[in-house]
Amino acid sequence: MWRFFCDFCTMKKTIGIFCIALMGAFQAKAQCNELFISEYVEGSRNNKALEIYNPTVNAVDLSKYRVTRWQNGSAAWTAQMSDALSGTIQPKDVIVVVLDRRDTTQTGQDTPVVLPLRLKADLFLSKDYNTSYSMSFNGDDALSIDKYNDATAKWVPVDIFGKIGERPSPAWSDKPPYTGTGTWYSLDKTLIRKDSVMTGVAKNPLEFNPKLEWVINPRDMFDSLGSHTCLCAQGPTTAVKTLAIGQVAVYPNPAVTSALVFLPFEMEKLVCLNAAGQSVKVGFNHVGMDDMLQYSLDVAHLPAGVYTLEFIAQNGAKASAKLIK
């Protein structure tokens, strides 16, 4: 009888361990099923960005998502504080959303986003401050990624940064009550979500302690934007991204005999098309590296006009820009 009881206990313990492991597997699977913010950039001047991560095994259509800024402790949603997203995020990939302050002449808007951050962007939001300023956060604004629910016809948060309805002074911090005491996290910092985080904060928290899920980094650190390491995937996620026209710096532009181009990757091939769509040869030389790779373009032989430049990397990454001669 005693031996039977011991065998029963052993079997019960084994089943219990198996059930715990199985529950853990199901929980991990359930966690990796919705978009969340993987990086937060609150930099100098207008250098603001969010990196959004797709932990799922499917491509996600962003047309059902939006970014909302809950300004200065407000808990009331307004259209001016929210911007719709667009495009698609591939599985285990990210999209980098940047405040749309690209006008280097500063005509009609304030200080532009710096070039290294502009080159990281997949999507620019909040171009006209009078219409929208979801991306103009300043350390004391909660943010959320919202998803449209077709069944209820309502928007619901899938991830919340900060605490909606609370305004810290001047930023959320790492010591109770997390509203300014200790080290400031949400002001003048770049925050990266810990790799152990596999789901967003879908319910407004009772308190926001940033050190639980975020790794703090210095202001204006943009190097990590474009990939994210998460336990939902094996290793860091990266993807070849096609940069839109306007995201590459060409100087001077208009050009006379030569121009400098700044790229986020090493160029292997350059394609130059004239206004008629015809390919024309343009020579280039690698001239140095700062925050980006720099190339000198020989354009002295080109007739006056507008040209489309396409820069191609060895791994297939592409970027485009307009050149005026």
Cis peptide before 176 (omega within 30 of 0): no
Asked if residue 324 has pLDDT above 50, the reply is: yes
pLDDT of residue 245: 44
**283-289 and 293-298: which strand pairing?**
antiparallel
Instruction: Work out the percent of the chain whose per-residue pLDDT is above 90.
Output: 58
Give the bridge partners for 313, in sequence order: 267
pLDDT of residue 140: 97
pLDDT of residue 180: 97
pLDDT in tens, 266-298: 888 999 998 888 899 999 988 765 445 788 999
pLDDT of residue 244: 47
Task: For residue 33, give the amino acid letter.
Answer: N
Q: In what order do the strands lie in the sheet with 318-324?
A: 242-243, 318-324, 306-313, 267-273, 279-280
pLDDT in tens, 1-51: 444 334 434 444 443 433 333 334 434 445 899 999 999 999 999 999 999
Asked if residue 116 has pLDDT above 70, the reply is: yes
Q: How many CB atoms lie within 10 A of CB 9?
A: 10
Asked if residue 200 has pLDDT above 50, the reply is: yes
3-state secondary structure of 245: coil
Least confident piece of the model among 51-65, 70-84, 123-137, 139-153: 123-137
The continuous run of DSSP H or E covering 191 comes out as: strand 189-193
Distance, CA of 166 to CA of 172 (rounded, Å): 10
Task: Give the domains, in start order, of the chain with CATH numbers.
Answer: 31-237 (2.60.40.1260), 242-324 (2.60.40.2320)
pLDDT in tens, 43-77: 999 999 999 999 999 999 999 999 999 999 999 99
Closest CA to 310 of 237, 232, 250, 222: 250
